[in-house]
Amino acid sequence: MKKFTWKPHRSLLALTILSATGAVLAEPQIHHPSIAPQSISEALKALAAETHIQIFSDGDALKGKQTSGIQGDFTAKEALQKLLTGTGLTYTFTAEDAVAVKAAETGSNAASTLPAVTVLGQTIQDTTDPYNEDYRLTKVNTATKTNTPIMETPMSIKVVPRAVMDDQQIVLFDDAVIRNVSGVQRNFDFGDLYQGFIVRGFSLGANIYRDGLRQNTGYFEPAGMERVEVLKGAAAMLYGRTQPGGLVNYVTKKPLDKAHYSLQQQFGSYDLYRTTADATGPINDDKSLLYRLNIAYSSNNSFRDYNENERIYVAPSLTWRLSDQTEMTVQLEHQHDDYVMDFGIPAVGNRPAQVPKSFFVGDAAVNNSSMDSNQIATIISHRFNDHWKIEHKFNWHQWTHEFNSIFPAGNINADQQTINRALMTGPTDRESFATNLDISGEFKTFGAQHKLLIGADYFKLKTDTYDNHWTYGVIPALDIFNPNNHMLDANAVKAVPNDFWWQEKDQWYGVYAQDQITLWDKLHFLVEARYDILDYGTGCCSEPINIDDHEDNRLNPRFGIVYQPWKWLSLFGNYVESIGTNNGLTPTKTVNKPEIGTQYEVGFKTEFFDGRLSSNLAYYHLTKENMLTGVPGLPYRTSVGEARSQGIEFDLTGELTDYLSLLGTYAYTDAIFTKDNGFAPWGMASKQGNRLPNVPEHSGSLWLTFHPDDRFKIGAGMFAQGQRAGNDNNTYDLPGFVRVDAMVAYNWKIAGSKLITQFNVNNLLDKDYFRGSRVTDSSGALPGEPISFIGSLRLDY
């Protein structure tokens, strides 16, 4: 290797960041760096590790300089140029595999800084860039916690980036997932109380993750989300007690070191008004303190009678770069919702009743529930050197729900016209603490490359429902074909004595270790094990409450393999076990055993057109033991035995051309009850052989956008679901449907700012469909929205 030809001053630190052989700057080899905004010295170390080149630098010249980071597909030269943009630094080739970085000279002897290079392939923008319009991401953390390329990950994982949510004008978090990820449906729980999903046939319950930590029950505001990542199959190895179908994790917006401000006003059908604001940037000159503030306010009526909603959302955050190696982010979040619990339309015969979509089972006098959610989250990371890092996360979440609703007390009566109703009022408080500590590093042994992760986590959830009315027999029945929603007196309802109390606790301690082993750059192994100590219990229904407390310990393994014969093709397989969450009380008021999941999966992934278009095709076989179901007419659950889900899933994401973006999904899901314990004394029919509720055999989606220039964009798409069982007993079905959506947008550049106008139409063909149903009986299926419109004005500057 040649010596340096330039001579810096005597304080020069001639630091070799990484020495390697093989890859050279001059070769048009494509690398896939994912380097976050940070100090330029740390960024250059990361680039050297990724590209296997030697980078020498002047320590004083680098001091205090920051880079906005880089993510995408680049040659080493392109990546270096992008990292140094705006830093006042230049580079000089000293050998084929070595480069020197120094401060740019001034005057007549100044060197040419950052010369233009030819881009060989599709450049992918930084995922945190507010102007990022890419649909495809190459790396994610959710599957392994190690920012591994998706092509090297032996699991199926799908990412919904901010660009997709903006193009589709997502105002409900669940829409971002069910419209864009294969094999995922909406989980309609009691009164649509919280946002939840069904993945690979199995309900995730209230288990939503935020930046890798489990959340409490609730509705989540998409204005604060950077992207959503969905991991298919059991994920308990890294995340504790989760359902075996998969894991939905949303990544929050973090402070950026470049100032950016955005103000958006949306308006739409049924008096929808939604205002959002996003402001971020550095607080001081050296960019060691960064801030971000996200605000949202929305109000809307509904095509459903007596259904008005209002939300206030405020989420400030602060990042402190203590040094080039250490960073801490603190996030606060407050959300208040006034909304109406919606129990849908009851079934008559084998279909939801033929009543108007506006049908409401409640009463105008008892119709104003509310939710308050508060969170404090911290992320602290420290990089010891080029290869080893430690990270700690913490989240406190407090959620209060004030129930005030009338709900159906069972199925339609024998007259096939009236339905009995019950009263539900009073508070529920939930509080959770989640934290984890991860140490990760890279090293080589005997020619094998290792990515090692060692971690521990703790989660605790307390639920307290007190001074509630859960009262049957005092509310008049409703004629569903001639409903009278003004039968009650609010004062009379308040006079009903309190009659219901409920408490739950759920906590675990977990330790885990994971090793990702790479041989010959083509063969990737994943070996992982986790040990959990579980403590859980439930008690009800009158004071004083006695919690039935239980403890379980379990070791869960995960194994995976990826073979990459070529860069564009990965063949993968995995075997995973998992343990589920708190399982509630049986009718004898004892706690159910945890649900146990086992999964086998094989598939392949591809990247075409210089990596611009990626796909994932997988076959899986998943079983769930101690499968739970609700007991009709009672607030209890019991195990029905075992269920099995198997099928094929396909996801396609990226760009067909420079002007045409694509997102497509398809899922074939065969999900049935395979064993039945039988509980005739509680009025429960055998479920063996029944289909799992709300799970269509066939489902899919397609979304295309055409953007011939940087100002105009037009898009359209559809998502479809086949016929689904409406409940566990399969006594009625929800019909299949195809929904078509469309959008058009245009933006103007005004004095360095951008004004974006956009118009979306959802359910363009005005098709009737149902989002989901309550699975324990036939009391409610939630209709989907008819044709609706959303307009938007957004100013970015």
Which of 14-18, 172-176, 458-462, 740-744 has the weakest average pLDDT?
A: 14-18
CATH of domain 139-250: 2.170.130.10
Q: Please state the separation of Cα 582 from the chain's center in Å.
A: 21
Write down the pLDDT at residue 5: 34
Give the closest residue to 500 by CA, choosing from 365, 344, 632, 634.
634
Domain boundaries, the chain: 1-121, 139-250, 251-796
Q: What pLDDT was estimated at residue 16?
A: 34
* Residue with tokens 């990542």, as numbered in its chain: 229
Does the bond joining 255 to the residue before it have cis omega, within 30 degrees of 0?
no
pLDDT at 55 over 50: yes
* Mean of pLDDT values over 743-754: 91
Q: What is the pLDDT of residue 27?
A: 38
| pLDDT exceeds 60 at position 2 | no
The yes-or-no verdict on residue 28 having pLDDT over 60 is no
Q: Which residue has the higher pLDDT, 195 or 360?
A: 360
CB contact at 8 A, 229 and 157:
yes
> In the 8-state DSSP scheme, what is residue 89?
E
Q: How many CB atoms lie within 10 A of CB 485?
A: 17
> Under a CB-based contact definition with an 8 Å cutoff, are residues 330 and 377 in contact?
yes
**Phi then psi for 448, rounded to 5 degrees?**
-100, 135
Strands 213-214 and 197-199: unpaired
pLDDT-derived band of residue 537, with 50, 70 and 90 as boundaries?
A: confident
Q: How far apart are CA 22 and CA 51, in angstroms?
A: 10
Sign of CA dihedral 28, 34, 37, 42: negative
Q: Would you state the pLDDT for residue 373?
A: 95
Cis amide bond preceding 541, omega within 30? yes
What per-residue confidence (pLDDT) applies to 683? 57
Distances (CA, A) of 342 to 44, 296, 490: 54, 23, 19
Q: Is the pLDDT of residue 155 over 80?
A: yes
Q: Please provide the average confidence, as pLDDT, over all residues in the chain.
A: 86
Residue 762, pLDDT > 90, answer yes
Give the residue from 530, 525, 560 showing the smallest Cα distance to 451: 525
Residue 328 pLDDT > 60: yes
Query: Could you tell me the two tokens for 639?
Result: 């195990």
Q: Are 736 and 697 in contact (CB under 8 A)?
A: no
Q: pLDDT tens digits for 214-231?
A: 987 888 999 999 999 999
The residue-averaged pLDDT of 506-519 equals: 92
Tallying the residues shown for the chain, one arrives at: 797
| For residue 334, pLDDT beyond 50 | yes
Which pLDDT score, from 0 to 100, does residue 747 have? Answer: 93
DSSP 119: -
Region 84-106: mean pLDDT is 78
611 class by beta-carbon count within 10 Å (0-12 exposed, 13-18 middle, 19+ buried): buried
DSSP secondary structure letter of residue 690: P
Q: What is the pLDDT of residues 340-351, one digit of tens each?
A: 999 999 999 999
Structure tokens at 418: 């009236």
**The predicted structure's pLDDT at residue 7:** 33
Encode pLDDT of 243-254 as tens digits. Answer: 788 889 999 999
Q: Are 795 and 276 in contact (CB under 8 A)?
A: no
For the chain, give the longest Cα–Cα distance.
95
- Indicate the range of 47-56, 363-372, 410-419, 574-583 predicted with least confidence: 574-583
pLDDT tens digits along 613-643: 999 999 999 998 877 766 665 656 667 778 9
Cα–Cα distance, 721 to 622 (Å, whole number):
21
- d(Cα 513, Cα 527) in Å, to the nearest integer? 8
**Angstrom distance (rounded) from CA 755 to CA 744:** 14
Lowest-confidence segment of 126-140, 218-232, 590-604, 621-635 by average pLDDT: 621-635
In degrees and rounded to multiples of 5, residue 752 shows phi and psi of 85, -5
Full 3-state SS string of 602-616: EEEEEEECCCCEEEE
Instruction: Give the highest mean pLDDT range of 289-298, 549-558, 750-759.
Output: 289-298
pLDDT score at 23: 34
The two tokens of residue 415 are 């007259």
Query: pLDDT grade, residue 4 (50/70/90)?
Result: very low
**136: buried, middle or exposed (CB in 10 Å: 19+, 13-18, 0-12)?**
buried
Q: Tell which wins on pLDDT, 6 or 485.
A: 485
Range with lowest mean pLDDT among 46-60, 260-274, 348-362, 773-787: 46-60
Average pLDDT score over residue span 140-145: 83
Q: How far, in Å, CA of 280 to CA of 105, rounded?
A: 32
Token code pair at residue 167? 């193009």
CB 306 within 8 A of CB 485: yes
Separation of alpha carbons 214 and 411, rounded Å: 34
Place of tokens 């479809």: 720
Q: pLDDT of 78-92, one tens digit each?
A: 888 888 887 888 888
The C-alpha atoms of residue 789 and residue 766 are separated, in whole angstroms, by 12
pLDDT of 382 > 70? The answer is yes
| Rounded (10°) angle between helices 76-84 and 40-51 | 170
Render pLDDT for 672-710 as a digit per residue (tens, 0 to 9): 999 877 654 455 677 889 999 999 999 999 999 999 988
Indicate the pairing of strand 208-210 with strand 246-252.
Answer: parallel
Residue 295 has pLDDT above 50, yes or no: yes
In this prediction, residue 589 has a pLDDT band, given cuts at 50, 70 and 90, of: low
In this structure, which CATH number among 3.60.15.10, 3.55.50.30, 3.40.1190.20, 2.60.40.10 belongs to the domain 1-121?
3.55.50.30
- How many CA atoms are closer than 13 Å to the CA of 360, on its beta-carbon side? 22
Q: What is the pLDDT of residue 738?
A: 97
pLDDT of residue 637: 66
Instruction: Count Cβ atoms within 10 A of the Cβ of residue 316 and give its class: 0-12 exposed, 13-18 middle, 19 or more buried.
Output: middle
Helix/strand/coil for 235 = coil
Residue 87: the pLDDT is 84
Kindly tell me if the per-residue pLDDT of 560 is higher than 90: yes
CB 661 within 8 A of CB 634: no
SS3 for 17-47 is CCCCCCCCCCCCCCECCEECCEEHHHHHHHH
Query: Which residues have CB under 8 Å from 185's CB, separation 6+?
Result: 178, 197, 198, 694, 695, 696, 699, 721, 724, 772
Give the tens place of pLDDT for each residue, 460-489: 999 998 888 888 888 999 999 999 999 998
- Which homologous superfamily does the CATH classification assign to the domain defined by 251-796? TonB-dependent receptor, beta-barrel domain (2.40.170.20)
Q: Identify the pLDDT of residue 490.
A: 85
Greatest mean pLDDT among 308-312, 501-505, 541-545 lies in: 308-312
List, for residues 711-736, the tens digit of each pLDDT value. 999 999 999 999 999 998 899 999 99
Q: State which amino acid sits at residue 16.
A: T
What gap in Å lies between CA 315 and CA 333, rounded to an integer? 4
All residues at 6 or more sequence positions from 159 whose CB lies less than 8 Å from its CB, including other chains? 136, 137, 140, 227, 228, 229, 230, 653
Whether 106 has a pLDDT exceeding 60, the answer reads no
